[in-house]
Homo-oligomer: A and B are copies of this chain.
Amino acid sequence: MRPSGRKTDQMRKVSFERNVSKHAEGSCLVKFGDTHVLVTASLEEKTPPWLRNSGKGWVTAEYGMLPRATGERMKREAASGKQSGRTQEIQRLIGRSLRAVVDLQALGERQISIDCDVIQADGGTRTASITGAWIALRDCLAWMEARNMIKVEKVLKDHIAAISCGIFANQPVIDLDYLEDSAAETDANFVMTGSGGIVEIQGTAEGKPFSEEEFGTLMGLAKNGIAELVALQKQTIGG
């Protein structure tokens, strides 16, 4: 029995609210249950130094948590003077995941910076960030298309979405909330495209090691969940 009463293959209620920022070229408030992430996409007409004069652009991501997004207040990273290893790991993952579906040549020499700020956390903040970031990124590209800068379909090759799965109380389950996450034996994050290609897999045994079979079950759960998320993304952008 899951603490939330959900079935093992049942994700939390997922929603995307677009255009939540007056300033950003694209933005999305994504909710996976009580996990709320505000994502903005900011267009900048310059690229990182290593891409100058390459004709290619870049998509990068930063991740942060408000200090009281969690049950216990955490020290503000700006005050402590550095980003934790966990923060850096997550923002690198978000950036890689998005770049997997972007044609950087078609984007041209520009950078889109994705900011994922966790307003409230209840497990799965990195997967919610990736899934919501796709919406913000797409709306940023649409903003650019409206100004004849690019064609969305040339730049954005596919959907991307992510979900966590894990083994909780000896049962493979999807979309772990905080209570499950902190007690799970195994925790795995999957990032996949709309066409079912795998972009990232991260599986970690928190307690005892897991078997290939267990991992296969988690991947099966993830495939279904991500298909649902992609369907929801399509519906959200009114496609």
Q: Which residues of A contact B (CB under 8 A)?
A: 21-24, 27, 34, 38, 40, 42, 44, 62, 64, 66-71, 73, 76-79, 81-89, 91-92, 96, 100, 113, 115, 117, 119-120, 122, 188, 192-193, 195-205, 208-212, 215, 219, 223
Closest B residue to A91 by CB, please name it. B85
Contacting residue for A188 out of B89, B195, B201, CB 8 A: B201
The contact of A64 among B69, B76, B199, by CB within 8 Å, is: B76
Give Cα A92 to B34, complex, Å.
Answer: 28
**8 Å CB contact of A23 from B69, B81, B89, B188:** B69
Report how far A193 CA is from B78 CA in the complex, Å. Answer: 31
From B23, B73, B120, B199, A71 is in contact (CB under 8 Å) with B23
Contact B219 A197 (CB under 8 A): no
In whole angstroms, how far apart are the Cα atoms of A42 and B69 in the complex? 11
Q: How far is the CA of A210 from the CA of B200 in the complex (A)?
A: 9
Quick check: B67 and A62 within 8 Å, CB to CB?
A: yes
Candidates B78, B188, B201, B209; contact of A78 at CB < 8 Å: B78
Shortest CB–CB separation between residue A87 and chain B, in angstroms?
7
Q: How far is the CA of A92 from the CA of B76 in the complex (A)?
A: 15
Once the chains are docked, how many angstroms separate the CA of A67 from the CA of B164?
27
The reply to whether B42 and A62 contact each other, CB–CB distance below 8 Å, is no
| Cβ-defined contact, B68 with A23, below 8 A | yes
Name the residue in A92, A115, A212 with the highest tally of chain B Cβ atoms < 10 Å from its Cβ: A212
A70 is contacted by which of B23, B70, B193 (Cβ under 8 Å)? B23
When the two chains form their complex, are residues B92 and A78 in contact, meaning their CB atoms are under 8 A apart?
no
Contact B120 A23 (CB under 8 A): yes
Would B197 and A24 count as touching, CB distance under 8 A?
no
